[in-house]
Structure 1
Amino acid sequence: MQKIAIVGAGRVGESTAQFLARRDLAREIALLDVHEGTAAGAALDIQETAPLLGFDTRLTGSHEADVIAGAELVIITAGLPRKPGMSRSDVLDKNVAILDEILDQVRRHAPDSRLLVVSNPVDVLTWRAAQQTGWSRDRIMGQAGVLDTSRMAAFIALETGLSVHDIQALVLGGHGDAMVPLLRYSHVNGIPLDRFLDRETLDSIVERTRHGGAEILALKQTSSAYAAPAAAIAEMVEAIALDRRRVLPTVALLDGEYGQRDVATGVPCILGQGGMERIVELDLQADEQADLERSIAGIRKDLERLQ
């Protein structure tokens, strides 16, 4: 890509810029933040690592919205962060207002871009972005499933002592406590997980995955996770920027898939040069489908607050 913009130069936004620059995924990365000097300082700090890390990406930062002009992809990380004890839904009202303002800036300065929403609650905000812009669903997506899947795979590796290179995991549904880790679609180099772990351990991995973000927040107290979310964003951006056409769990707008419409949630998608190119429908068992519907029901409850 020629230019990627990141709105929000906090911990997630700054870490995302670092990951993207190191992968040389764009000629330019522009950071935008409401606090004067924050984005410019983050951009300069990262730029000064270029000779050491060997990347040619140029970074700029500003509190003026025109810094994102001409971006092909806009990544939205800005928003009120969770505090210990808060759910992602607890920050909904304020983050919707922040998102709406950002969308106005994107329409003005980067009207041909694609959007990658990261701010929480990501499922609701991804839906909101589609409603506010009227853009086709291939242009609007959210990041959650890649992060949740990575957490699940990490927990499997820790429990089995096996290499993460051989572990595949999959998480669907909303990015919250009702997310749906799919053990049936998770494996170690094609071998079912139950060959390595007993049912009690597998159930504990599912629960730990569901509360992965809250666990880190409770430990750190002063901030939520940012390294793993940034790495997950970079994985999605690489698939789009390099047209890899990877199948990655993505918050996407559903239009009949999985029996759902007018809602955004995490499902497997093909990501490539065309953005969110296609949703992949899995053959879910009755209990898996019920879990997914329960997760989506929670998202719809939050959507009702926006009506």
Structure 2
Amino acid sequence: MKTRKIGIIGVGHVGAHVLSALVTQGIADEIVLIDSNPAKSACECQDIKDSIPYMPHRVRVSVGDYPDLKDCDVVVNASGKISILAETHDRVEEMKFTVPAAKGFIPKVKASGFNGIFLNISNPCDIITAEIAKGLDLPKGHVFGTGTGLDSARLISHLAETTGIDHKSITAYMIGEHGNSQFAPWSQVAFGSHKLEELVAEDERFRFDRDAMIQETVDGAWTVFAGKGCTEYAIAATAARIIRAIFHDEKAIIPVSAPLDGDFDEHDVFAGVPAIIGKDGCEEVVELHLTDEELEHFHKCCAGIRENIKVADEM
């Protein structure tokens, strides 16, 4: 029986929490850790191994190097330098570290013979994902990013708290750039089978301040960052959810940083949109029926992403 193997590049705050989520949920059978600081990967490896006897699943965790990624089913890039965000609340600024880091490991991943699914977490997510996809030259959809997945979950959480409806009964997405320009297409928000617009006239619970909720959603990461200097649990849960969908071929619709090739009238760009996630990674973009205003906003997001990709290409 085939085992499920995952590689994690970068075992800092995010990478370590992804490791913990994967082990706790029993999503992988084997996990290999790679970090530019060998002592960091070694200590995280030992710490998580000490916890496994009390976990419901047996998982093998080891410190490795890039050749060990050859037979991985999924590789996660969580490399980063979160302290850069202390200077500015703009994820694009993280390019100063994450672009050179990605360009440094891409040839090593490719040389290993890796031919699985590559999930990028590092910010700016859409830009780094594009760089990795270009460098690895894997089939379309085999490289994608977590993108607006976490932001969408935060929006749903706010909607649940405001309306009293269980979050599992709410459909809502943050789309566009995984950054300050992302937005929610309100025309697509639904509670069960009812669109938000249908409910506004009937129930005052649904007459909330939409602009304030979007701002709260965008600012949520900074609230966490201001308190402890990083974000950990939610992004780790997002990555774990995506990987579980891959391993079980769920065909689950999850917002991710997906390659657009004509979807939403956009080409050759990665952006946050809902997509079908299964054994072949990001298998299909779910194209929403946006209003003209929403579509214009989305195009502006993609234009901004393209400009930043040009900057990254020159770094």
TM-score by length of 2: 0.90
SS of residue paired to 2:160 = helix
Structure 2 unaligned residues grouped into runs of 5+: none
Partner of 1:187: 190
Distance in 1, Cα, partners of 2:68 & 2:43: 14
Partner of 1:258: 264
Please list the CA deviations of residues 56-83 of structure 1 after superposition, one character each: whole Å capped at 9, or x if unmatched. 1111124x33343421111000022242
Please list the CA deviations of residues 159-199 of structure 1 after superposition, one character each: whole Å capped at 9, or x if unmatched. 23443333332111110111121222223333444445454
Partner of 1:282: 288
Distance in 2, Cα, partners of 1:188 & 1:196: 14
1:29 is aligned, of 31, 56, 62, to: 31
Counterpart code for 1:203: D
1:113 is aligned, of 107, 113, 116, to: 116
Distance in 2, Cα, partners of 1:196 & 1:235: 33
Distance in 2, Cα, partners of 1:284 & 1:162: 24
2:217 is aligned, of 184, 198, 209, to: 209
Does the CA-based 8 Å contact 1:243-1:273 persist in structure 2? yes
Partner of 1:78: 79
Residue 232 of structure 1, CA deviation: 0.4
RMSD: 1.8
Partner of 1:38: 40
Counterpart code for 1:55: H
2:279 is aligned, of 268, 273, 276, to: 273
Distance in 2, Cα, partners of 1:197 & 1:205: 14
Does the CA-based 8 Å contact 1:180-1:295 persist in structure 2? no
Identity %: 26
Residue 51 of structure 1, CA deviation: 2.5
Does the CA-based 8 Å contact 1:176-1:211 persist in structure 2? no
Q: Superposed, which structure 2 residues align to 1:109-148 within 5 Å?
A: 109-148=112-151
1:218 is aligned, of 214, 226, 237, to: 226
Counterpart code for 1:57: V
Counterpart code for 2:92: S
Partner of 1:157: 160
Question: Are positions 1:68 and 2:76 aligned together?
Answer: no
SS of residue paired to 2:307 = helix
Counterpart code for 1:137: K
Residue 276 of structure 1, CA deviation: 1.3
Cα distance change of structure 1 residues 110 and 22 upon mapping to structure 2, 3 Å threshold: farther
Does the CA-based 8 Å contact 1:77-1:118 persist in structure 2? yes
How many equivalent residue pairs?
Answer: 304
Does the CA-based 8 Å contact 1:21-1:55 persist in structure 2? yes
Question: Are positions 1:8 and 2:16 aligned together?
Answer: no
TM-score by length of 1: 0.93
Question: Are positions 1:87 and 2:95 aligned together?
Answer: no
Partner of 1:243: 249
